């Protein structure tokens, strides 16, 4: 059976008229009869093309300030009628309802109205009723009707009409129906999020999807739902992989802690910082970040809080790295970094990161607010007799920011605003500390007068004792253990300083 159909009629009701004119002209050239409403009808008339007002079909004017225009059996009957069903066709003839073969809709811009800060009344008026109903009806009856449900589909639809002299296959009608339900579900999700204040249900919707080379491993399928162009301008390199995206996410979140600070450079591997430093120049910040672990930096993700200049780019170019991220690049620096054809170069836009965080767990979804709490002078309490110096406090807060973005259990060692080493993802806090100490010594760091940060409290004094034995006498930790006093007593006995933040920073 031939499932290709040549449409005879079209109903057009759109908010955004951009790009509509070529489609209307093509429909007219194919002798397709056009029905329309309100502003769209005027737009078509101004093109000098015949158009039938929907009011002439329904014998009802647009009422309630435009809230009701197309919601009528003579419209929806023509869309939903099953062309192979004799009873449906008989009813169309009885009630003088024309078949409608094409429905073109572009919905009221609800999300943009919300983002504009408009009043609640203005926002509610941008909840499209007629348009969403037309989309669902046309998409449901894809066996006979094609639904163009967004301005983003105009170009593809025009091409479809041109290539086949107006004939449209069932495969294409079904594909456009899938897009239509994606549009309608995304629209309803946006309205739900606006109205839902009690978190009674979970809904997520993304219009943009990218097919990745593979998932975490080559045998796994990988997709990214979301629009990376909202966050980055990609200047060069291969496509971002699944693992790249996880590392880029970790890098962006970490550097957000240092966004307005002096030149800061970080190097990440497997979502953890393996190097980070703050210096007077970005070049030196990079060199000292690399010194933290030049082995792990191979194939890593690099991120800066300042424009990358030619001096820094020259140093970076000596390293094989997957991704470089910065707010901007000098022309000379960019030319150098493009010297490796696969190196991904991103400009990070000044966009606020989403506050909501989701991840799958078992047969459901976990939600939490972003960890927006950063340790600082105003929230800490002195736990020991000895107080940290101002310089030590600077290093403590520096280390604490890194600790917050490192996999638990973690211990971070730093000095002079340079990451010396971290113990990451250990089942024991003692193991995390020993890992950090061993690593720092391996790369030649002198731990005397370094500081230590922990993402959670010390249940026993073993960690402060181990730290003291290698020359670390300044500590920041959340506190809150029923045995805090044991660690405090050891610190006081050995003239160490320790401050409590009262905030745990687990990261799993």
What is the C-alpha separation between 19 and 23, in angstroms, rounded?
8
What is the C-alpha separation between 33 and 385, in angstroms, rounded?
87
Q: Is 373 exposed, middle or buried (0-12, 13-18, 19+ CB in 10 A)?
A: middle
SS3 state of residue 272: strand
Active site residue 140: yes
| CA–CA distances in Å: residue 131 to residues 115, 148, 451, 483 | 21, 11, 61, 64
By the 8 A CB rule, do 477 and 456 touch? yes
By the 8 A CB rule, do 450 and 477 touch? no
Q: Which residue has the tokens 């107080």?
A: 387
What is the C-alpha separation between 18 and 152, in angstroms, rounded?
10
Question: What is the DSSP code (8-state) at residue 240?
Answer: P
For residue 78, give the nearest of 23, 8, 27 by alpha carbon: 8
Q: Is 315 exposed, middle or buried (0-12, 13-18, 19+ CB in 10 A)?
A: middle
Q: Edge-to-edge strand order for the sheet containing 321-326? A: 232-236, 344-348, 321-326, 300-304, 264-269, 272-278, 418-423, 411-415, 451-454, 474-477, 497-500, 381-382
For residue 135, give the nearest of 64, 73, 185 by alpha carbon: 185
Check 17, 25, 26, 140 and give the catalytic one: 140
Backbone Cα Rg of the chain: 31
E strands, 394-445, are 411-415, 418-423
Question: What is the DSSP code (8-state) at residue 366?
Answer: E
What is the C-alpha separation between 91 and 417, in angstroms, rounded?
79
For 234, the token pair is: 């990609």
By the 8 A CB rule, do 335 and 310 touch? no
Active site residue 373: no
List active site positions.
Answer: 140, 270
């Amino acid at each position: 059976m031939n499932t290709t159909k040549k449409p005879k009629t079209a109903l057009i009701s759109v908010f955004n008229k951009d790009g509509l004119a070529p489609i209307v002209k093509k429909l007219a050239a194919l002798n397709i009869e056009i029905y329309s409403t309100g502003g769209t009808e005027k737009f078509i008339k101004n093109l000098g093309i015949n158009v039938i007002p929907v009011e002439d079909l329904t014998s009802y004017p647009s009422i309630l300030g435009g809230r009701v225009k197309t919601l009528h059996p003579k419209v929806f009957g023509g869309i939903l009628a099953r062309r192979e069903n004799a009873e449906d066709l008989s009813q169309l003839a009885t009630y003088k309802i024309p078949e409608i073969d094409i429905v073109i809709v572009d919905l009221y811009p609800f999300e943009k109205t919300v983002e504009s800060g408009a009043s609640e009344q203005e926002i509610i008026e941008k909840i499209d009723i007629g348009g969403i109903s037309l989309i669902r009806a046309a998409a449901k009856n894809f066996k006979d009707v094609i639904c163009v449900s967004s301005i983003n589909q105009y170009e593809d639809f025009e091409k479809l009409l041109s290539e086949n002299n107006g004939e449209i296959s069932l495969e294409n009608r079904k594909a456009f129906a899938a897009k239509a339900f994606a549009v309608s579900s995304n629209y309803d999700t946006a309205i739900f999020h606006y109205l839902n204040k009690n978190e009674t249900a979970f809904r997520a919707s993304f219009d943009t999807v990218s097919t990745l080379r593979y998932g975490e491993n080559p045998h796994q399928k990988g997709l990214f739902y979301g629009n990376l162009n909202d966050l980055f301008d990609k200047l060069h390199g291969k496509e971002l992989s699944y693992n790249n995206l996880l590392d880029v996410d970790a890098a962006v979140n970490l550097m957000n802690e240092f966004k307005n600070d002096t030149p800061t450079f970080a190097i990440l591997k497997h979502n953890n910082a393996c190097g980070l430093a703050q210096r007077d120049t970005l070049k030196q910040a990079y060199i000292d970040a690399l010194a933290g672990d030049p082995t792990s930096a191979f194939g890593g993700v690099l991120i800066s809080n300042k424009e990358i200049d030619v001096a820094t780019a020259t140093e970076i170019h000596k390293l094989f790295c997957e991704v470089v991220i910065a707010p901007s690049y000098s022309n000379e620096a960019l030319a150098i970094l493009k010297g490796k054809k696969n190196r991904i170069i991103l400009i990070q836009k000044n966009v606020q990161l989403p506050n909501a965080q989701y991840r799958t767990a078992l047969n459901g979804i976990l939600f939490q607010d972003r960890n927006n709490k950063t340790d600082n002078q105003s929230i800490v309490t002195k736990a020991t007799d000895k107080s940290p110096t101002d310089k030590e406090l600077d290093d403590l807060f520096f280390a604490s920011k890194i600790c917050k973005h490192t996999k638990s259990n973690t211990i971070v060692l730093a000095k002079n605003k340079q990451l010396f080493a971290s113990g990451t993802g250990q089942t024991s806090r003692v193991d995390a500390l020993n890992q950090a100490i061993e690593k720092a010594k391996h790369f030649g760091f002198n731990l005397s007068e370094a500081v230590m940060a922990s993402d959670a409290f010390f249940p026993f004094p073993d960690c402060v004792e181990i730290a003291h034995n290698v020359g670390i006498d300044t500590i920041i930790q959340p506190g809150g253990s029923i045995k805090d006093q044991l660690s405090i007593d050891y610190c006081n006995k050995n003239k160490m300083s320790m401050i409590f933040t009262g905030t745990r920073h687990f990261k799993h």
